Structure 1
Amino acid sequence: MPERHVNWDAVPVVLEDFEVGREPARESLRDAVRALLWALAQRAPGRSVELRVPPYGAIQCVEGPRHTRGTPPNVVETDPITFVKLATGILNWADALTSGKIAMSGIRADLSSYLPCWPEKSEKTP
Structure 2
Amino acid sequence: MAARRISDEAGLAAVRAWEADPDGAGRSTVATAVRYALEELAHRAPGNSVEVRVPPFGVTQAIEGPRHTRGTPPNVVEMPAPVWLGLATGSLTWGQARAEHAVDASGNRSDLSALLPLFATRTAARRARKGTLE
- TM-score tier (shorter): 0.7 to 0.9
Q: Which residue of 1 aligns with 2:21?
A: 17
Question: Alpha-carbon deviation of 1:3?
Answer: 2.8
Deviations 1:73-101 (A, max 9, x none): 00000000100000110000000001010
Gap regions ≥5 residues in structure 2: 122-134
**TM-score by structure 1 length?**
0.87
- Between the aligned partners of 2:43 and 2:92, the Cα distance in structure 1 is 20
- Between the aligned partners of 1:118 and 1:41, the Cα distance in structure 2 is 14
Q: How many positions carry a matched residue from both structures?
A: 117
Q: Which residue of 2 aligns with 1:33?
A: 34
8 Å contact from structure 2 (residues 90, 120) kept in 1: no
- Between the aligned partners of 1:95 and 1:32, the Cα distance in structure 2 is 21
Q: Which residue of 1 aligns with 2:65?
A: 64
Deviations 1:98-125 (A, max 9, x none): 10100011000001100111278xxxxx
- Between the aligned partners of 2:38 and 2:44, the Cα distance in structure 1 is 10
Q: Determine whether 1:111 maps to 2:108.
A: no
| Aligned-residue CA RMSD (Å) | 1.6
Q: How does 1:45-124 map to 2 (within 5 A)?
A: 45-118=46-119
- Between the aligned partners of 2:52 and 2:26, the Cα distance in structure 1 is 23
| Percent of aligned pairs sharing the same letter | 46
Q: Give structure 1 regions of 4+ aligned residues with deviation exceeding 4 angstroms.
A: none
8 Å contact from structure 1 (residues 39, 118) kept in 2: no
Aligned to 1:52, the other structure's residue is in SS state: strand
Deviations 1:26-76 (A, max 9, x none): 110000001111111111110000000000000000010001111000000
8 Å contact from structure 1 (residues 50, 72) kept in 2: yes
- Between the aligned partners of 1:29 and 1:63, the Cα distance in structure 2 is 28
- Between the aligned partners of 2:83 and 2:29, the Cα distance in structure 1 is 15
